[in-house]
Amino acid sequence: MNPSIASPRHVLTILAVSDLERASRFYREAFDWSIQVDVLVYVEFETPQGLRFGVYQREAFAMNTGQAPMEVPSGSLSGTEIYFHCPDLPEAISRIEAAGARKLSDLAPRGWGDEAAYYADPEGNVLVLARPL
């Protein structure tokens, strides 16, 4: 079996959000990705690697899934972690902090061979900014 035919290819990550304007502003300021879709209930970005990343208003998200995802209480974390390797880690940390990310753990060497810092976006999703040691 040819794995390129049989294996799914990751092309898009979508996060359900309670405040679409706040979430889209955060990701625009934190990462400066280009916006590909901007409609009333959904904003989609394209990353420099060609992957897409969307934020979808929680109730509208339910139109596709049949039920709305649980809202993450303020100050809590979702079960989602998005891990980024950053060529300029200090700049990436500066941008995400300026955009309003909540720091969860300082930049530190990690046992798997990366130096990484952990943050939460305004919706409680965990974002990791890292680089190989």
Domain ranges for the chain, please list them.
1-68, 77-133
Would you say 43 and 24 are in contact if contact means Cβ atoms under 8 Å apart?
Answer: yes
Report how far residue 23's alpha carbon sits from residue 122's, in angstroms, rounded to the nearest whole number. Answer: 7
Question: In terms of CATH architecture, what is 1-68?
Answer: Roll (3.10)
- pTM for this entry: 0.91
Q: Are 130 and 84 in contact (CB under 8 A)?
A: yes
What is the tens place of the pLDDT at every residue in 28-54? 999 999 999 999 999 999 999 999 999
Indicate the fold that domain 77-133 takes in CATH: 3.30.720
| 104 to 6, 31, 37, 51, 85: CA distances (angstroms) | 38, 18, 30, 26, 17
